[in-house]
Amino acid sequence: MSSPGKSPSPTPSAPPGKRFSFVGPGLIVAATGVGAGDLVAALVAGTKFGFTFIWAILIGAILKFSLNEGVGRWQLATGQTIFQGWRSLGKWTSGYFGIYSIIWGFIFGAAVSSSCALAATALFPQIDLKIWAILHALAGFLLVWTGKYQLFEKVMTFFVGLMFITVVGSAILVFPDLISLLSGFVPTMPQGSLFYALGLIGGVGGSITMASYGYWIREKNWTGPSWISVVRLDSAVAYIVTGIFTISLLIVGAQFLFGTGMVFDGEKGLIELSKLLGERFGEPARWLFLIGFWSASFTSLLGVWNGVPYLFADLVRHWKKNPSSLDADPVSEKSPAYRAYLIWLTFPPMLLLFLGKPVSLVILYGVLGAFFMPFLAITLLWLLNSKRVNKEHRNRWLSNTILCVNVLLFAVLGIQEVIETLSK
């Protein structure tokens, strides 16, 4: 099925070798999902366990590919957004996502702008961290407020390239011998390392913006089942790039810090690492790593500022509608609901930069957030095996197997997150 007011776009006609020119939305999803927290996780794993968990990063990339491909395939096969799919499963999905999106946006808006500011302050300490945070939030707001997806995609692609070059460049500086590196492709699990491995698998480019993928492919005018093969290519390239990026971070930790006993104190540990790189390889190496850190943080901000308001606007649009109804027009970046959520992401969180994070909100944020990735995996498994999708586009056994692994993985990580949040 496809939207009644808009015929499916023509079948992609580029030769196989030139289809890479279509790649774009997948890179945005993957880059948005790789933030400072993932940098820390990969570096800590390398610092503690050397090259042991390269295999975990590869598995994580495969699992995220399956989720991203599932979101895109659902939309192309049915003409409905993922939010409409959720609504067809019951009103409880709208209630969960509505509450989560409000709390998540408030906390995340402050967290991601602070992360950008941390790297920027390390590069240019003349400006206060809070001022840097506000400037980054405003920069994202102004870019997205224009409502021009093509400009947004070009900016994101530039920063993805910058992020990739700087982080992979840092890994090349400390590159190990090939035999040591290849040992990490063999699955092993040192004692006491289970949750490090699961965290790496779960953190390779995964976030709420995976659900935004369908809106980004609509902006590219990818409509109709003929584009499913392009979505698969787009998603595959995105998670290959993300996998290389994450492995590069692990290499830096493994080769430069393994056995040193260094303990990372969250994102501040990245600043300490950049200083160590500078002392050993010179000031350019410090800048190279910090630019990579900053790029990873800023792409997360930009991707969320552009992507999550689509979901909120879709929630508002379908709050009282029949979930099976098809929309003549896609969600607009200029709709009042979209812009209201963009404002919510940008301005109210600035209060938290000065007041600190209220404990009760942080707990609720952690608990609700722990269930989002299991929610996405379970609902995709449900929707893509149902009669809502034409038989030829439903899941096959391999897709079902990978999605079941996603459900189990994120359920375990979600329970762990809830326990850790409630124990704080």
Calpha distance 97→80 (Å, rounded): 17
pLDDT of residue 191: 84
Q: What is the pTM (predicted TM-score) of this model?
A: 0.89
Structure tokens at 175: 């590159």
pLDDT of residue 327: 63
Mean pLDDT across the chain, nearest whole number?
85
Count the neighbouring beta carbons within 10 Å of the beta carbon of residue 414: 19
Architecture of domain 22-423: Up-down Bundle (1.20)
Calpha distance 238→337 (Å, rounded): 29
pLDDT of residue 18: 63
The mean pLDDT value for 55-59 works out to 93
Evaluate if residue 172 carries a pLDDT over 70: yes
pLDDT digits (tens, 9 = 90+) for 332-358: 888 999 999 999 999 999 998 887 665
pLDDT of residue 1: 42
16-20, 99-103, 116-120, 394-398: range with lowest mean pLDDT = 16-20
pLDDT of residue 422: 74
pLDDT of residue 155: 93
pLDDT of residue 4: 42
Please indicate whether residue 23 or residue 385 has the higher confidence score (pLDDT): 385
Question: What are the residue boundaries of the structural domains of the chain, listed by start?
Answer: 22-423
* Residue labelled with tokens 């890994």: 171
**Beta-carbon contacts of residue 156 (< 8 Å; ≥ 6 apart):** 27, 28, 31, 299, 302, 303
